[in-house]
Amino acid sequence: MERRPRGNCAACHRRAGKAYNLRKAAAPGSHTEAEWLVHAATFSHCPGCGRSWDVVERPNGQKRPYTKGHIVALIDGGSNGIENLRPECARCNYGGPGVGFRSKTSGRPSMR
């Protein structure tokens, strides 16, 4: 069975994923996987909620407890450069059930 966010049909989920990938490809800045791993290693906890990586659940069997979070969302004009990334737990990055994502800079809801 395909896993998808609550409230979205599979077609809507695919369409949103394609739109995000297009924004990511068009965004300025870039980074290598090695740069990301070095950068992420400088964080001992999630900067969004403050939980230590030791207690953060690993979503869908991921190797690491963190995901790539954009400080300024791509849809708000953020870059994909390493300076605009920070490791975040899945709950903080994806909003989790009943939690509305808010732009980390403007505080307004972001269309992610």
The string of pLDDT tens digits covering residues 42-80 is 999 999 999 999 999 887 778 899 999 999 989 899 999
User: Facing residues of 69 across strands?
Assistant: 86
Whether the pLDDT of residue 102 is over 50: the answer is no
- Predicted confidence at residue 81, as pLDDT, reads 96
- Predicted confidence at residue 55, as pLDDT, reads 92
CA diameter of the chain: 38
- Predicted confidence at residue 30, as pLDDT, reads 94
Which residue ranges make up each domain of the chain? 30-112
- Residue 25 CA to chain centroid, in angstroms? 15
Q: Pick from 88, 112, 90: which is nearest to 101 by CA? A: 112
- Predicted confidence at residue 37, as pLDDT, reads 95
- Predicted confidence at residue 43, as pLDDT, reads 96
| Least confident window among 2-16, 29-43, 48-62, 91-105 | 91-105
pTM for this prediction: 0.71
- Predicted confidence at residue 67, as pLDDT, reads 92
**For residue 109, what is the DSSP state?**
B
Residue 9's pLDDT band (cuts 50, 70, 90):
confident
